[in-house]
Structures are given as C-alpha cells and as structure tokens.
Structure 1
C-alpha cells in the first residue's frame, strides 16, 4: 500500500474542493491551535444531519464536530464528555446528554447526529445504533455565517479554543446534510455501503483549510479483499430493507396541548417519545374499569437513563402505587408495587439503548406478582392477597404518581420511547407473555389495547412512527 503524507502547517491554506476518498485528517498533538475549517456558503438550516468517523485514545473531554454562528457558539456541537459512555449534542446552545454509549478507545467509530427544528428533537447514532430522541430546541432555524471546525470546540464564533477540549486522533468521511437522514441511510453509512453523500459537506468534494499541525494521510485499510466480500454481502442484505423503508411513510404528530381529546386510536407501528426530563410531560391512558382482581401489564421501552425512572404507574384514591413498574438507579434491579407494597426483582439484564419488553402480573387470590423481562421470568414474590384494586383509576406513562393523578418528581420521569402498551384483568400465561416478547400474534389487552387506545397527552410527548428496518433501534 502506498502511503502519502501531506503536512499542512500553513495558517489558512487555500480552500479548493478535494476528493478525500480513502483519506483521513490526523490530529497528532494536544493544542489550542491545530484545526480544520470546513467551508460552506450555506447559512440557514431547518434541519441538520452530520456523520463522521473518528479514532482516538482520549479519555478526557473532546470536540468531535463544532458548528457556530455569530448568535450561538454551539449552534450544532457533537462533544464527547469525560464521563464514560456520555456524548453531548447541542443545537442553538441547548445541550442534551446521551448516556450508555459504547465509545471505546483506539477503535474506529461511526458517529451520526441529527436535529430537526420542526420538532426540536435530536438523536445520536453510534456505530449504527440509534439513541433515544431528546429535545433540544424547536421553532427556528440555524441562521447566520457558519463556522465549522474539526479538532477544536468553539467557545466563540470561529475561536476561543481550549487545549483540554481539543481532539487528538484521526477523523475521516465527514458529511453534512440539510435534512434528517433516514435510519436506513445512517445504517448504510455506518456499514460503509453506498449512501447519498452530504449536500452541505461532502467528503468526496470537500472545501477546507488547515491551521497548525494537521495531516492529510491515506487511510489504512487492511485485508482489502475480505472487507470487499463483507461489503458486498451487506449490500445484498440492505437492498430489500432500503426499498421497504422508502415505502414506509414516516408521520409525526407533535402533541403539546394539555389534555388532548381522548379518542380511541390504533397505534400499531407507533410509539410515544418522551424527549426531555420534566415533571409535567406525560400520557394518561384511559379506562372506565375500577375493580381488578388480577392485573397483567406489558409494554416495550427504550432509554439511556441510569437514574430512577417510572415505566408504568396506576393509582387510585386509596393508593398512589396500586400497580407500579419502576426502574431504580441500582443496576439490574426492577421494582414492582402492588397496593403500595413493594418488591425488588434483582439480576435483570436491563441494558441501556436497547428495546426491552417488560411484563408484570399480579393475582389477588394468591398475592403473588412476577416480572418478565424480554420473555424471561423472575421469581414470584408476595405482595398482598384477599382484596382487589378498587377505585377511580389513573394510569400514567412518563411520570410516577406520588399522589392520585399527580405528585410528579422530575428525577423519576421517563426519557426515551415506549410502545405496545397492553393491560389485562387476568394473569397472562407464560406462553402468551412469550408470544408478546417475541412480537408474535397475541391476545391484545382487554383493559388497555395499543390497537384501540384511549389516551391524552400533557406537555411535550410525541407520537411517532416506529422505525422498522435496518435494525435502526435494535428491534
């Protein structure tokens, strides 16, 4: 393999579009000067997608992509925090942290980030794995003279660099688009397949200038024939998925009205997205049932939260935690409450940034409750027996009720995505729970039915099409 090396040490080298296919930028030392400025004449963005590949051994904080305008130094920023597994995304100076990211040292990673001003939602994709969506800012575009920098983080428009936030390592294949990429397109980028190059920044026709010690090198590709074979196989695997995804009509309903009308809706193929930490945003699930001798609840959820958070909260006037599924901060533990009596289920393989199916059952005759995570049963535990759950029912997703219908705590709120919520007035059989977990045909809930759900939304909760195909959310 022929290695070519161009050491560019001139301040403000001439910006001529170059095809950097097979090349990389190497940032070989810690400095508050060395950087690459990426040039575009675009100055108005309703949406943004950025993808890049990077390799580093830094364990401290460092910038991965910095776009500033005169009105906002962090107009669009991708930043690796020092905390393990934590990546930050900012739009118009409003940040969100994404936890549980498998960001390994000395490894090439593909990293994509998207933001849409219409919804305010941002999302991170590390090595093709989608994160929860989080709220940044909505309602106005990114506007103004654009300064895009690799290697440094801009604390002011075009400058004020901090050595301890500089990037040391290698970057390649930087692209930027003025729209939100589809999950399939991001997956194709991550898998190094054919994809539509950026229409704002295109690695194959990149205008850039270098300041300080940054090198343009040939990217070292090993075992070319083997990589080519894998690449062709991936192309075949993804062709049908891409066609299917193009046929899927992605719809988005942003419901910000307090107390939206509760009309039964078929939410097949949909999900609730809770994009930010709050003590107000929630979904109320409506039922006229007020007497339960037994209960089964199943749902699917996806989050990066490591703190306490609520998964399902049913209260009556006599008991705030009459049926509660709750994930405490303790790793591998899920709690369940029945008639205000708790039990902890330990040893649960509750992973971050992964869709899980969770079912919980309780029978007043025996007093026994049980948890099922991804179709795997727990031990049965005793709660209370001999009396039903009775009274006006308040069922809430997104918040934990410390009082009937309220008493929300922001540090127990859910941030992430939920789907396929069902509730029955009897204990499901193990086979029925397994069929639910495996996404096979099962008897829908006779109390709450995702396919005919009455609900109302308060605050910033979104109803979105669930992304199928390309394994975009590990489904």
Structure 2
C-alpha cells in the first residue's frame, strides 16, 4: 500500500517478518517523517483489540497508534492530549476521551483499546485498569485495507506533523480481530502467557521502518496488575424475570432516553433498603436509583451531586446529604441506603462504611404503584428525563428489601458473601425491561 505523500525517507530495515520478542522500537527525535509501517495479516475487521506498551517524556500531544485507510481517512487513532491529561480514541468521525489518568512521564504504560462494530462501543484499559465502555457511532460495518502506523498520524491531506509525533520507546504491539477478554488483557499486562495477536503479532511482525527508528533490546520494568472482569456481550430488551447473577447493566452513552425499568415484587412498604454496585467516570451530577410515585417524583432516590461531592438520599421529596466521600472514578463502589417510616431515619452505607443516620419525616409507607428506574432520574412519574443527570457506566447486584437490613447482612452484601436476597427487587430473579441502548454483560470475575 502506497501513501501519496511527499516524505524524506531513510529505510532502516527492509520489510520482513521478524520475531521482536525482547525488543523495542526507539523513536529518538521529534520528526514529521520517522515511523514504522505495520502490515496486518488480515485486512477486514468488524472488531479489534490493540495492545502496546510505551515509554515517553513528552509534554505535548502525541499519537500512540494509528490506523488509516488508502483515502487518508482516519479509521482508528489512540492519541494522548497533554494539556487536558486525556487519552482520546478516534473511530471514523466519532471520538471519546478518558481523563484523570495517571499517565506518568518516563514510565512504562500498558494500553489496550477495543472496538466492536455491532455495538459501536469502545473501551480503554490503562495499565490493566478497565475504564468505562463508551459508545462511538459506527460509520461502517468493518475496517477494510488499513495502513497501520506507529510514531505518526496522518492528517486529512495525508501528511505527518512533528508536533503530534511519538518520541520514546514502544514494544509488545499486538492486534486482534475481536474484542479480547479481560482475563487475556490482564495476562498481557502482567506479561503472562496470553493469546498473541492474530492481526499483529510482536513475535512475528511484518513491518518496515522509515526514517530514524531503531530496534533495541527491551528494558525490564514492572507494572501493577489489577484483576477486573471477564466479559462477554449479551443484549436483552424483553421484559421478563431473569437471573442476572454474574451479570451487569452497561449504560454506554449520555442520553435522555436509555434506561432500565424494574418491576418490584411489593408495591407498598413501610421501610426499605436498596443496595447496588456501580462503576463510572462521570464528572457531573448523576442518578443511581430512582423510584417515583404519582404523589412524589422522588419517592425514593439516590443521587450524586458532583459539585459538592455529596451523595443525596431523597424520600418523598425530602433530602439527606452525605459529603466527603472517596467516590473515585473508574472504581467499583457498593452503596446501600436504608429508610424506616416509623422513625423517619435514613442511612447511607458507602463501600461497607455506615454513615450517620439522618431524619426525614416518616409515618407513611412508600406509595403504592411505584416506578423504579436505573440510568435516569425521574422528574415526573415515569419520565421527565434530563441527559445531564443520566448515568453512564456499569451497574450490578441491585437488591431491595421491605425492611432495614441489618449491618451484618449489609457487610455480607459488600463482601459478596452469602446474604439474604432482596424481597422487593432480587438480582437473581429480576423483572425488568430495557429501553434503548442498555447492554447486559458478564460482571467481573477474578482471573487466576
């Protein structure tokens, strides 16, 4: 494949298949010419996973991986923006970003990126940490005849620019034509035995070097490995009672429509406990659990106020606030909320820690015929959704009881030990209906 570009070319290595195990590419200077052109073993894709390790001290924007089509259209790009500390993933005309990364200079980092055309979802794994899946609208069903470049990224005219070039070291580049399981990604990060790329394989790499790019022995390093999830994709839109044990809901995009509506086993209760686990990187207000009635929009609501870093518990439109929480992004959190009509007391448990009890007026049951929704906050009974309050991320293990759960049972829930399942909402026998783009996937397992 030929780029119609005007380049000053110095060929350092003839195109050949080489085993680069124990080796690394060194990009020693800022330039608008030096790069490595990789020849994939396959040329048509409906899904991809790309993993690599890189080391740089650049204090500017730089490209980490680039896929272009013969027309110079940018197909897939992984780009780091220094000013905002964001990793940006481009796919066709869509893009999404991941911020607040611990992208230290002069440090080895493992970066894996996945994309699947059937869902339009992309995901970034940073040093083994799974970040939120996000939706980038698929513009085509597949990637065809790509040119894969390390060290540079083409613009619309087919030119390279030195101010986006990569300077540093790169190794262990692999690419697959499917979404790699999280267990395999963790093995890659930990440098354990993993399935090598079937599109690009570092141990059998077909490449050509242009300009000043060197091959040297790889330097030894260590990375902290985090064990997260073994995932696979499953979509369900039918209203039915299902056992969601080992599953999670995935809310992949900002929207004022997508949500999950839950049908409770009981509809008038004098006390309540609601528990769930959630994972998000949202830097704004968002809903975590919304129950409304014809009398109160916020019959029972759990809501995060980003500006004040407060978790709000609403009962019958009254509010209790819990601040100073270590509500980290890209981290699983367990949240349990209790309320009792007899005492009027509410309490929040955050990752197993009991917070202070607050008084909200009681003396009456939660109203009959409630509507319970995940993913959106109800400003009216069953509706009134606002995109700036929607949830984006993953949620699992949603349970609700018609009594105040004991602290021992809450601790068992948080620790994922055997506990009494909810008798109002039971994750293992959940009656629900998905509206629009909400997915069901396998929840996390520990990869041995």
TM-score (structure 1 length as normaliser): 0.86
Deviation track 1:104-124 (CA, whole Å, cap 9, x = no partner) reads 222101111111222222221
Q: CA RMSD in A?
A: 2.7
CA 1:298–1:87 in 2, change beyond 3 Å: closer, same or farther? Answer: same
Alignment map for 1:70-469 (pairs within 5 Å): 70=70, 73-82=73-82, 84-138=84-138, 140-156=140-156, 159-221=158-220, 252-255=233-236, 260-287=237-264, 289-330=266-307, 332-469=309-446
How far off its partner does 1:442 sit?
0.9
CA spacing shift, 1:110–1:261, aligned 2, 3 Å:
closer
Measure how far apart 1:203 and its partner are: 1.2
Is the contact made by 1:42 and 1:146 (CA closer than 8 Å) also made in structure 2?
no
Question: 8 Å contact 2:92–2:139 — kept in the other structure?
Answer: no
CA displacement 1:276-301 (0-9 Å, x = unmatched): 11111100001264323211100011
Q: Distance in 1 between matches of 2:376 and 2:273?
A: 20
Q: In the alignment, is the contact (CA less than 8 A) between 1:307 and 1:329 conserved in 2? A: yes
Between 70-79 and 430-439, the greater mean CA deviation after superposition:
70-79
Unpaired runs of 5+ residues, structure 2, are: 1-7
**Are 2:265 and 2:423, in contact at CA under 8 Å, matched by a contact in 1?**
no
Residue 67 of structure 2 is matched in structure 1 by 67
Does the 8 Å CA contact 1:294/1:388 hold for their aligned counterparts?
yes
Q: After superposition, what is the alpha-carbon deviation per residue over 1:392-423, rounded to whole angstroms, capped at 9, x for unaligned?
A: 31111011111111111111111111111001
- Structure in which a larger fraction of residues adopt helix: 1
Instruction: Give the whole-Å Cα distance in 2 for the aligned partners of 1:40 and 1:10.
Output: 22
Task: Mark the runs of 5 or more structure 1 residues left unpaired by the alignment.
Answer: 1-7
Structure 1's consecutive aligned runs of 4 or more residues displaced over 6 angstroms after TM superposition are none
Partners of 2:273 and 2:339 within 8 A in 1: yes
Is contact 1:394-1:404 (8 Å) kept? yes
8 A contact 1:9–1:214 mirrored in 2: no
CA shift at 1:148, angstroms? Answer: 0.8
Of stretches 168-177 and 24-33 in structure 1, the one that deviates more from structure 2 is: 24-33
For the structure 1 residues 280 and 198, does the alpha-carbon distance in structure 2 shift closer, same or farther, using more than 3 Å as the test? same
Residue-by-residue CA offset, 1:40-77 (whole Å, 9 max, x unaligned): 25321021011100112224322111111246733222
Query: For 1:86-145, what per-residue CA distance to the aligned partner results, in whole angstroms no more than 9, with x for missing partners?
Result: 222233332222234332222101111111222222221111111122222459433332
Aligned residues: 441
Instruction: Tell me which residue corresponds to 1:18.
Output: 18
CA contact (8 A) 2:61 2:164 kept: yes
**SS across alignment from 1:320:** coil
1:54–1:93 Cα change, 3 Å: same
